[in-house]
Amino acid sequence: AQTVTQSQPEMSVQEAETVTLSCTYDTSESDYYLFWYKQPPSRQMILVIRQEAYKQQNATENRFSVNFQKAAKSFSLKISDSQLGDAAMYFCAYRSGNNDMRFGAGTRLTVKP
Amino acid sequence: GAVVSQHPSWVICKSGTSVKIECRSLDFQATTMFWYRQFPKQSLMLMATSNEGSKATYEQGVEKDKFLINHASLTLSTLTVTSAHPEDSSFYICSARDGGTGVAEQYFGPGTRLTVT
């Protein structure tokens, strides 16, 4: 079974600084997707970024970028120029093909003004 | 972007009663819908997967007779918690997959908070 591990229950970053959230996963599949979701206090799940496993290039979305290391099964999220609105729970997720999505335990990010 | 709605957003019911939660895809056809459960300060745990017109597939440990899922159309899935008990109090999130896109994007509803008294 696929598992997703987020080893950082909580992280803190100063406003305008950069923070990296860690995620590792375990799978025997070669074709899959990885995601980072943000869940603010409203609890609405918001897609931050997505990475297709077959793509070697790391995905980027404005201030958000990932470091995808397929051999190491690592998928970290870097948030640059952190803003107060970035404070939320962040979940790493894995999906193989059209199967269901599996989530990590989450990392609570605090942004200090 | 695609929108998934859930109704109600918050429901309080008495122990022993049943409550139905609706999940709708508003601007796309959802070939597959997922139901998740999230306890406070925890992650999303998949309860079941449903395909339109088929019986839902439940995850191990989820009582199918207690959590009834119906996916009668390509835009609507319902979760009925039967004979609810306080331990069923949780946040329930549905997710719908857009079968019309190559990547099969998955969109999340805003969730339903269930409180059983």
- Across A94-103, B1-10, B16-25, the highest mean pLDDT is recorded for B16-25
Specify the pLDDT at position B98: 82
Specify the pLDDT at position B106: 87
Q: Mapping DSSP to helix (H, G, I), strand (E, B) and coil, where does residue A84 land?
A: helix
CA distance A61 to A48: 8
Residue range B44-68: mean pLDDT, rounded: 92
Say whether B44 and A98 touch across the interface (CB within 8 A): no
B8 prior amide bond cis, ω within 30: yes
Residues of A with CB under 8 A from a CB of B: 33, 37, 42-45, 52, 91, 95, 98, 100-106
Measure in Å the smallest separation between the Cα of A97 and chain B Cα atoms.
Answer: 9
Contact B32, B49 (CB under 8 A): yes
Which residues on chain A are in Cβ contact (under 8 Å) with B110?
42-44
Specify the pLDDT at position B104: 67
Contact B3, B98 (CB under 8 A): no
Mutate to test the interface with B, among A32, A45, A99 (most CBs of B within 10 A): A45
**Which DSSP category does A86 fall into?**
G
How does pLDDT run across A25-78, given as a tens digit for each residue? 999 988 899 999 999 999 999 999 999 999 989 999 999 999 999 999 999 999
Confidence of residue B51 (pLDDT cuts 50, 70, 90): confident
Task: Judge whether residue A9 has pLDDT over 80.
Answer: yes
